[in-house]
Structure 1
Amino acid sequence: MKSVPSWPAPEVPEVAGPGVPVSLFNTATGVVEPVHPEEARLYVCGITPYDATHLGHAATYVAFDTLGRAWRDAGVPVLYAQNITDVDDPLLERAATSGRDWRDIAQEQTDLFREDMRALRIVPPDVYVRVQDVIDETADAVSRMLENGTAYRVAIGSDASPAPVDQHAADIYFDVRAAERLTPWTLGESSRYSPERMAESFREFGGDPDRDGKRDPYDPLLWRAARAGEPSWPTPVGAGRPGWHVECAVIATGTLGVTVTVQAGGRDLTFPHHELSAAHASAMTGEPFAKHYAHAGLVAYQGTKMSKSLGNLVLVSKLTADGHDPAAIRLAILRHHYRDDWEWSDTGLAAAEEQLRRWRAHANEVRDRAAADGTAASAAESTAEIDGIDPVDSPRVTQIRRAVANDLNTPLALAHVDGWAASGDHDPAVIDLVDALLGIRL
């Protein structure tokens, strides 16, 4: 599967001593569960590149970057894939209203996202895939679902707008009830949503429950037949473009294998996107899609959920252009538990900047002490000479590791770092651990 460049990887130091096995809240079960595989396969849904990168995006990618860091610190290899949803209605609508080519907007916004992720020291995905590069693979998956009875064609109404290019063409939909009969997947198993909440979310996030010809209101679009003025590609299932959920199913299984360890993203993707992506994947493979589902909370600004459609965005690029240290932006995010909903504010950023100042001042004090003692250049290596602290048995390091490993409890981890900075603790292993686990270079 074709991958495009992501962004440069930050240097992540190795810290002596055993890491702590990770436990993570599983949306599908409603409890915190151990997630310590021999190899972790992580799929995090990527951006739709038409207005990147706001703090809601950043909070999600910082959260699951922390997960990857915790796994690696515990000795677990991580294979990480992410998509770029560069063939989707919001991007095409932006292109239409702005008069620009959708490909130019996608490239511009993806490049901006890359730079924001680099600035925030997010470890990049191993595989980074654009939807426009997997059209053939997606059409093949849709064809197989038609063959195995989990997909069907729906006629396009004569009054459809925009009109189909081919008047005899049909859209292709996924059959959720057939999937429940023929695959391990069942509707509601990963979201645990009530029927009422499913109905609300399905409609809110692009579903069309009232479409004539559908077998079930929750049947999602797999393939949209070519319409006038929209991008489309010739394929064996007809000219057109993929639906939203099947794109991720194809990219995730094509890059990570049949079953992923964790499917992750913002909580607004819980249903229908993650639920139905899992359905498509199971219809393609005959196996469960993910062992674990993890979702980050939503970030508000000025009292309302931050979103592109509402226009109440705080952009990472704007904050850095205004002179704010990306490390302080990351720290402002880590001050909140990843599953909590919270509100971005200038006062919160100022508090993070002051916290970062205190940490760096203490880190410099630790380094100065190491230099004065004539020890090795690496702070971690100088531990025994400074305070007789063995990094393998460092209480502060253990506290921070346990906090992060316990459902990514970064607020508690930050409190332990605060204690290190305020108490005169000269354990230098904390400097590298804050970098390795929290992504903050001191």
Structure 2
Amino acid sequence: MRLWARSLRGRVTIIATVVAALVLTPVAIAGVLITRHLIAQATWDSTGDTAARIAARVRGGELGAGHGLPVLDSDVDLIQLVAHDGRILAASDAARKLPMLSGVRPRPGGRDVDVTACLPAMCMHITVMRAGLTAEAPIVYAARRTPPLLSTRSMEISAAVQLAAILALTAWATWVVTGSALRPVARMRRELDHITARDLSRRVTEPPGDDEVAQLARSVNGTLARLERAGLQQRQFAADASHELRTPIAGLRAQLESAQLYPDEADVRTLVKSALRDTDRLEAIITDLLLLARIGSGEDAAAREQVDLAELVRQELARRTDRVPVRTELAEGVTVHGVRLQLARVLTNLLDNAQRHAEKQVSVEVRRQDGQAVLCVENDGAPIAVGDRKRIFERFTRLDAARSRDAGGTGLGLAIARDVALAHGGQIRVEDSPHGARFVLRLPATWPG
């Protein structure tokens, strides 16, 4: 029983069988009781009808003492006419040698009486009726043998056997049907057991149709596909991060080894300046990697506050000294609920990106649109091809030589902007612009106050 209860198939079978038993047992009991009642009623009806007809003929003078009593119903063959003093005046052939069928005597003028009685060889259903209204009127006893269904427990045994058979059939059918329904799930489990992190390209078998199991298989395959993409992105990210970190480290090592080999030729000031530049780049990459790891982790949930985007833009521009002038169009009262430092980092990254690729102008716009706070940063540099507009937000993505690594760039700025937008329930994307590249950040807006 414990083994059955541990499996879903066994539990469903047990539950179905118990429910069937709870429903069918009262039905079986009621059926037996109703059947017994109907058989008993039919038996009393036949004996009562025979007794009434015999009594009528006795009152009419057709039957009396010494006469053989006729059998009017083949089932009711035990008939006696008994005097008020207990003498048997007449009887049917089957009852001629029997003692008085019952000692019950109805009261004069009273109703007929239905009784049961048992002789050594049989039990009987008897209707007792006076043939007249006086106390001296003879009494008619009409009896028939008790039907076997009433005298034995055969009907109860038969109902119990049938109930047990139905419950067994219910359990077997539920076990088979449940097993058939869960077979694809068992197959998926076996297939999933063989899928490891080293090979996420495998998929589980999808059963035909559109039932819950088929939907589960498709969901599992969708999850495996996302895990595979995440694994590929993780490996690519690790390779890219290693490459990005290795480059400044290799440059720094080369300079130090050269100074060690040729100390007299080394320019200490130039060496230190170059080493600090490589160190700054390493620090920037590590800082961005740590920020990417923290975004969306929930660590900054307590730091969320109402942020005015127009004020944030003004504060950022006030502390910057850019080579390309920035034109602003800032609507007042456009606020969002977020982490101020992260949103400021998004703005900084977008402005840095725009300054690196702009020719003559960068524009920043803040507005409220359809319940969203919109921040647009646009530059008049080279536009971004439609096919690259999603890829540009991936980590360490380099589109072409014109957008290769610049001074101060880590290749993670736009990836950070995307992750911050998603963590704040928004999105960032590149949109069409007649002047160059246009980055649009959309976040759920709040109302000031």
How high is the TM-score relative to the length of structure 2? Answer: 0.20
Which is higher, the Rg of structure 1 or of structure 2? 2
Q: Which has the higher contact order (CA 8 A, sep 6+)?
A: 1
Instruction: Indicate the structure with greater helix content.
Output: 2
